[in-house]
Structure 1
Amino acid sequence: MAWGRKKSSGRKEPLFGLPAALSELRLSPQDRIPSPVDEKPKKSPKRRNEDSDDDAPRERKPRVTKSGSKRRSKGRARGGLLRLVYWGAVLGLWGVIAAVGVVVWVGAHLPAIQSLEIPKRPPTIQITGADGSVLATRGEMAGANVSLKDLPPYLPKAFIAIEDRRFYSHYGVDPLGILRAAITNVLHRSVSQGGSTLTQQLAKNLFLTQERTLQRKLQEVELALWLERKHSKSEILELYLNRVYFGSGAYGVEAASQRYFGKSARNVTVAEAAMLAGLVKSPSRLAPNRNPEGAEQRAQIVLTAMADAKFITEAQARASIGHPSYNVKPAGAGTVNYVADWIGEVLDDLIGQIDQNIVVETTIDPKLQAVAEAAVIDELAAKSVKFNVSQGALVAMSPDGAVRAMVGGRNYAESQYNRAVTAKRQPGSAFKPFVYLTAIESGLTPETVRQDAPLDVKGWKPENYSHEYFGPVTLTQALAMSLNTVAVRLGLEVGPKNVVRTAHRLGISSKLDANASIALGTSEVSLTELVGAYAPFANGGLGVSPHVVTKIRTDSGKLLYARQPDQLGQVIEPRNVAMMNTMMQETLLSGTAHKAELPGWMAAGKTGTSQDFRDAWFIGYTANLVTGVWLGNDDNSPTKKATGGGLPVEVWTRFMKAAHQGVAAVPLPASQPSGLFSTVAQAMPQAGAPVASAPSPGNTSGRSAPTRTSVRPEPAAGLDGWLMDRLFGR
């Protein structure tokens, strides 16, 4: 222990916390190695270091002279400039990196530049009539490409004058134009000018959407630069003129010239060229078929710009202003557009996706289409208010199902809803032929007698239109007079399901409810399918499919589709066709359609009026044409007692008279049995016994039909019994 204590007391440890020891270890300024930092002047500390020795000698501040102060100020200024240059370079470098990043990011959202190609035009669908004439154009109406050298020189110059005056001097983007537009917009406090070049507009039209976003604008700039590098100025201008939109569905100067002036772009005048160039700013608003005054004012601005650019003389500008030779065509309001829309709906089923221009050849007869349109529109114009009827439709087809005319409404421009194809309404008594055909096929004949008397079907009590009943009547009488009680009795007798099967077999495709009221046409159908279902009565019993397209080919002539004949076969036996034609002839001779007149032609048909007079129908036919007419209101509101025997018969008669003018008369199909009854059978369609007088849904004139003195007893069943009655007066 003593040794340890001695050893401990004999050693002296340094005391680092003592001021004296700290002063011994501190270096004086003279002992230090000078450094650039030490050479800089330092501010004296505001307070002493708490650990410093109060007794240590203090360093005295050197006196600063006036010349030293100047040198220090210059050093500070030089340092500030260097820092400014440094941070400017840093920020500039980051700006370049950011710009490159934006370009890369924008480019990443574009197709690979090496794979970009000028896209094909959207396909154009040209629809022609049976005579080869053009009925309508669907898709984006694009005229044929026209070469720049084939156009009058003032036409492309009109676009350059108003859209891109520096077109030949910039490289796709015009900074001066952008600056000028920005200044103008600021002064006007609105977006009155744009800075896009023709090349940018072309890039947008070819590759981009019309959305207004910064990304789309940057993409437009990149693509404009690419177009300028890949194509010459002449190629860009030609592409632009053949792709730009001019309103009313017209793309390219050729289509626009044909649309608005009825001639090729090769032949436009200076005034017409100015109008076309003026449309680009706002084609929908300035289209001359919608806003002729606005189009004219804009054309005057273009003419002034052309004169200012020395593209035309002042005299040419003055001569063109106020003297446009516009021949503005209507904006496709004709009813043939209902046909065009219908065709557009079935094309995908016929040829699949359309990726090229096509020509669709149809069965439409332009002359009959014009007659049908006039018949519907004129009749509605004269009597729509009186009968509270706002709409009408007409379908005419040949007995093989080829549609010759179709009117889907009174005004296509106001409503594109096709009431001939899309609308489904209750046919009323126009459905009764399917009930009577089912009865004929079950063994009854036109002379079969059934009771016209009040009827109660589980609480439902159908009544005749006149609320009168005529006792025992023949089927011919009952159908001609449209007696509801007899139709319901027959429907129940043969079975509603069998009636539905008959209607479907003949061509009705809509869902039908197999109940007692089906006999009165309570299930909804379209006009086109109802007319198609009547066609077998006109062609001898063959099933048909209503159709309008015969061929589809490319504009170069390659055949894509050719319609094949229907293979539906015989859907009605010929002898049953003959009896049905005899019965429905009586409808026109003395029944509900007695107002129908078709001199020299054997015609038959059936009227129809739905519940509460909501729909009025007449389907009538000859061996040449089957035509159906519907009149009513889109909202299914009741009319003012418009019946099938009134307005629809008038429309039908007007159309059919014109359609059969100059056509050789052909009798309706009749059965051709051999032996004793062949001669009589051939005469059956012409036979038509008068029926008992009775008010009917179609007899609004108050005129009575010829009366029959007596009702014959029911003949022997079948065709032979019917013929025996005819031969021997049974």
Structure 2
Amino acid sequence: MSDRPKRKRPLVADKRYPSKSKAAAKKPVKKPVKKSTSTRRKAAPKRAKRGGIVGLITALFSWVLRLIWKITWRLTAVVVLALAVAVGYLYTTLPPLEALLDGRASGSVTMLDRNGAVFARRGDQFGGVVTANSVSPHLKNAVIATEDKRFYRHFGVSPRGIASAVRINLSEGRGPLSGHGGSTITQQVAKLICLGEPFDPSTGMTEKQYEAECRRNSIQRKAKEALFSIAMEAKYSKDDILSIYLNRAYMGGGAYGAEAAAQRFFSKSAAGLGAAESAMLAGLLTAPTTLSPTNNLDRSQNRAATVIRLMRDQGYLTQAEADAAQANPAELSDEAEAQVGGYFADWMISEIPDFMRATTSDMRIKTTLDQRIQKAAEEGLKWVFDNKVREGSKAQAAIVVMSADGAVRAMVGGRKTKVSGVFNRATQALRQTGSAFKPFVYAAALDLGYSPNDLIDDSPYCQTIPGSGEWCPRNYTNTFKGMVTLTESLKQSLNIPAVKISESVGRVLVSEVATQFGIQSDLASGPALALGASESTLTEMTGAYAGILNGGSSVTPYGLVELSLTGDAEPLMGRGGGIGERVIQESAARQLVYMMEKVISEGTGKRAQFEGRELAGKTGTTSAAKDAWFIGFSADYVAGVWMGYDDNTPLKGVTGGGLPTDIWREAMIRVHAGLPHNPLPMSAPVPRSGLGETPPASAPAPKRNEGTIIDQVLRDIFGGGSGGSSPSPTGGNR
């Protein structure tokens, strides 16, 4: 054993891991890698400030640039904020979508014939609300392809489109805003609603001036239009904007909106349009009046062909579909072509009272038109011009057919019949009446008691006209018949007897008879009154002859039977004409019909005869043959025909008994197709002793009939009763 004390064992386990110092001692030490002096980043040397003038200029330029930048971005921010405020304000002023779909300033007029069938439409027609998704996809695509191919990709304004339009305008020598506008569909809608400014008649501005202002292309207006378009894009969806456009755009023929146009031209809904029809409607948007198929179908089809090519190029149609549409262009429906309405429809529009023209309500007019008779009149006129008038002639003609009460059944105001809004020679042309006026001379004489068998001397006759000298009328044949009956005088259209009779009964009476029968134009005051020196319209003259047929009562020609607002049960106005007061006694009228029957059966109007019917009428030719007339009637209808040149060029070889009578005959043959042969209301005269050019002094004055307008006029002028003396031969102009 050892004396050394034992070493105490540690109370803890031995360290299991070597100390860091020892581990570090054992780990080989890595030598630091010296960085290459070539990779060290050297501190950039400070630039030396340029001194002198160069330094000053550089500093000044740098300061100016910084100033411009600060001003520019601040100004831009202000402008953007102002535009945002403006767009926001316009956004709040935009009405609901439904309020923008029907924007007509006036309503439409639908016209019905005597049988209740629609034959014409006028005014601003609106067929009903459509949407971009309810119309035919072809129509939607055609409109976008034609008007705005980037419609679904812009925000209401197309900078590229505007720049292109400005470039084209400048290259064509116009102002930047003249001609092509580069307008998007949204901008066009903004114009259609006049940038939210409704029409206000109290401003004194007419509707036409209002529309012109809405389409003004000033810079200020275009700027507001752009803001308005952006506001619309924010307020409405793209399809909503397209729907407004499809409902408000004018598409010609009086049609506003796609539905009205589809019904107007194709008699079908906008939802059922094919590619060719859709292309035609879309093509109308650039020039709706000029390109309207009712005005020029060929021009409308050519424009539609261009639209079809655009649709093909933009992928809306395959090549096969485009070829099919090009090979089968759209045509007017039969109903649409018949609904042009022509002169009669224009006449009806002129009869609407002024206070009703500004209404936005749709109207319906029931009329007297008979489409069968209208077609007969048109065909009769066309047949004569095709077969009896030299090719290239500029002569015009007009026809009016009416019933004995003045109800107009047909009206043709010129050789072109499928027209509207043109000069109507039946109602607007004042022309000298010539010998067609003579029946009113004989009407006055017969009502005073003269007989168709009374004699008058057809011999040379002269009269001194104060201020004009001696006036000597001549017969058309430059011959004299001697003593002739009144019937023979009218039958042969002798001028001298007509003047003598007029002077005998008095010009005032003759004028009064003509006026009361419906001749509203100013009548000549001299003795040439009896020879038709006065002017009148064909409608007036035909109405006056209707008064002879109906037994001697005045007639006001009319076409309007009833006018009402669509949806209203009660009409706003009724018939505008018809039979009025009695002018001559029925017995005198029946004798006059007898005399006029002889004109056709034996006299100057022989060419009017057809089918053995009883017919009566009178020819008329003015001096220098500037006007030729034939007016006549059967027991059923009265028809008047005028022929001449608009510029008063004399007709060559034409008299009232020639081409006008031929036109009358061809029209009346067609009018009377299938009608029974009814007798004329005429009475043959009772034979009695004849009278000379004036009643002998010893003979009793012709007995006047009581109760007529003539009798009242005689009392007013001469102060006599029913048994008073007749006016003196030269006292008729007192």
Q: Normalising by structure 1, report the TM-score.
A: 0.74
Q: What is the identity, as a one-letter code, of the residue corresponding to 1:402?
A: A
Q: Which amino acid aligns with 1:299?
A: V
**Whole-Å separation in 2 of the counterparts to 1:688 and 1:92:** 111
2:590 equivalent to 1:578: yes
Give the match for residue 159 of structure 1.
Answer: 143
Give the whole-Å Cα distance in 1 for the aligned partners of 2:329 and 2:668: 40
Give the distance between the partners of 1:640 and 1:181, measured in 2 at CA: 55
Match of 2:235 among 230, 237, 244: 230
Q: Does 1:528 align with 2:539?
A: yes
The C-alpha deviation readout for 1:260-295, integer Å capped at 9, x for no partner, is 545332112234434443443455676662425632
Q: 1:715 to 1:430 in 2, by over 3 A?
A: farther
Distance in 2 of aligned mates of 1:182 and 1:386:
49
Match of 1:515 in 2: 526
Given that residues 452 and 685 in structure 2 are in contact (C-alpha distance below 8 angstroms), is that contact kept between their aligned partners in structure 1? no
* Matches of 1:104 and 1:510, distance apart in 2: 64
1:278·1:302 contact (CA, 8 Å) conserved in 2? no
**Map of 1:214 onto structure 2:** 219
User: What corresponds to 1:303 in structure 2?
Assistant: 311
User: In the aligned structure 2, how far is the partner of 1:478 from the partner of 1:83?
Assistant: 107
State the distance in 2 between where 1:373 and 1:220 align.
Answer: 49
Superposed displacement of residue 490, structure 1: 0.7
Indicate which of 497, 512, 525 corresponds to 1:486: 497
The 1:103/1:379 distance shift into structure 2, 3 A limit, reads farther
Say which of 315, 322, 347 aligns to 2:326: 322
SS in 2 for 1:148: coil
Instruction: Write out per-residue CA displacement over residues 296-345 of structure 1, whole angstroms, 9 at most, x where no aligned residue.
Output: 541333222441xxx56x46655646344422469979994111222222
Distance 1:66 1:143, change over 3 A: closer
Cα distance, 1:534–1:297 mapped onto 2, change above 3 Å: closer
Contact 1:619 1:627 survives alignment (8 Å):
yes
**Offset of residue 599 of structure 1:** 3.5
Describe the shift of the 1:181–1:352 C-alpha distance in structure 2 as closer, same or farther (beyond 3 A): closer
2:703, 2:49 → 1: CA distance?
A: 138
Q: Which sits farther off after the overlay, 73-82 or 356-365?
A: 73-82
2:129 to 145, 151, 174: 145
Q: Does 1:609 align with 2:613?
A: no
Aligned ranges for residues 30-429 of structure 1 at < 5 Å?
A: 67=48, 69=50, 77=58, 80-90=61-71, 113=93, 118=100, 120-122=103-105, 123-175=107-159, 178=162, 195-207=182-194, 209-247=214-252, 249-281=254-286, 283=288, 289-291=297-299, 294-307=302-315, 314=318, 317=321, 320=324, 322-328=326-332, 336-349=341-354, 351-385=356-390, 390-412=395-417, 416-429=422-435
**Mapped contact 2:405–2:555 kept (Cα < 8 A):** yes
CA distance in structure 2 between the partners assigned to 1:518 and 1:481 by the alignment: 18
Q: Equivalent residue for 1:464? A: 475
C-alpha distance in structure 1 between counterparts of 2:392 and 2:440, whole Å: 29
Structure 2: distance between partners of 1:529 and 1:286: 36
1:636 Cα deviation from its structure 2 partner? 1.2
Q: 1:99 to 1:486 in 2, by over 3 A?
A: farther
- Paired position in structure 2 for 1:587: 599
Matched, 1:638 2:650: yes
Residue 518 of structure 1: how far off its partner (Å) = 0.4
In the alignment, the residues of structure 1 paired with residue 577 and residue 302 of structure 2 have an alpha-carbon distance, to the nearest angstrom, of: 52
Show structure 2 runs of 5+ residues with no match: 1-45, 195-210, 465-469, 689-698, 706-734
- Does residue 610 of structure 2 align to residue 627 of structure 1? no
The higher-RCO structure (CA 8 Å, 6+ apart) is 2
Q: Describe the shift of the 1:100–1:126 C-alpha distance in structure 2 as closer, same or farther (beyond 3 A).
A: farther
- Call closer, same or farther: CA 1:644–1:106 in 2, change over 3 Å: farther
User: Judging changes above 3 Å, is the alpha-carbon distance between structure 1 residues 286 and 477 closer, same or farther for their aligned structure 2 residues?
Assistant: closer
The answer on whether the counterparts of 1:587 and 1:605 sit within 8 Å (CA) in structure 2 is yes
Residue 432 (structure 1) aligns with: 438
Cα contact 1:449–1:474 (8 A) shared by 2: yes
Q: What's 2:198 paired with?
A: none
Residues of 1 paired with 2:496 and 2:348: CA distance? 41
SS at match of 1:171: coil
Asked whether 1:473 is paired with 2:488, we answer: no
Among residues 451, 455, 458, which one is paired with 1:452 in the alignment?
Answer: 458
Which of the residues 681, 687, 693 maps onto 1:669? 681
Equivalences for 1:662-701 in 2 at 5 Å? 662-669=674-681, 684=683
Distance 1:221 1:66 in 2: 52
Following TM superposition, by how much is the alpha carbon of 1:480 offset from its aligned partner in structure 2, in angstroms? 1.1
Which 10-residue stretch deviates more, 174-183 or 425-434? 174-183
Indicate the larger mover: 68-77 or 160-169.
68-77
Whether the 8 Å CA contact 1:275–1:302 is kept in 2: the answer is no
**In the alignment, residue 474 of structure 2 is paired with which amino acid?**
E
From the superposition, tell whether residues 206 and 454 of structure 1 become closer, same or farther in structure 2 (CA, over 3 Å): same
Post-superposition Cα deviations, 1:597-616, rounded to whole Å, max 9, x if no partner, equal: 14354322211111122211
Q: Residue type matched to 1:624 in 2?
A: D
Offset at 1:563?
1.6
* Structure 2 CA distance for partners of 1:260 and 1:578, relative to 1, 3 Å: closer
Other-structure match for 1:35: none
Give 1:460 shift. Answer: 0.9
1:549 offset after TM fit, Å? 1.0
Q: Distance in 2 between matches of 1:454 and 1:374?
A: 44
Matching residue of 1:541:
552
TM-aligned CA deviation for residue 402 of structure 1: 0.5
CA distance in 2, matches of 1:107, 1:175: 21
Partner of 1:59: none
Residue pair 1:435, 1:519 contacting (<8 A) in 2 also = yes
Query: Does the CA contact (< 8 Å) of 1:336 and 1:369 recur in 2?
Result: no
**Given that residues 91 and 232 in structure 2 are in contact (C-alpha distance below 8 angstroms), is that contact kept between their aligned partners in structure 1?**
no
Give 2:155's aligned amino acid. Y
Please tell me whether the aligned partners of residues 124 and 137 of structure 1 are also in contact (alpha carbons under 8 angstroms). Answer: yes
Q: What is the CA distance between 1:225 and its match in structure 2?
A: 2.5
Aligned residues: 614
Unaligned ranges ≥5, structure 1: 1-64, 671-683, 690-713, 721-730
CA contact (8 A) 1:429 1:606 kept: yes
Contact 1:452–1:471 (CA under 8 A) maintained in structure 2? yes
Deviations 1:26-78 (A, max 9, x none): xxxxxxxxxxxxxxxxxxxxxxxxxxxxxxxxxxxxxxx99564699878756
Indicate how the Cα distance of structure 1 residues 420 and 398 shifts in structure 2: closer, same or farther if over 3 A, else same. Answer: same
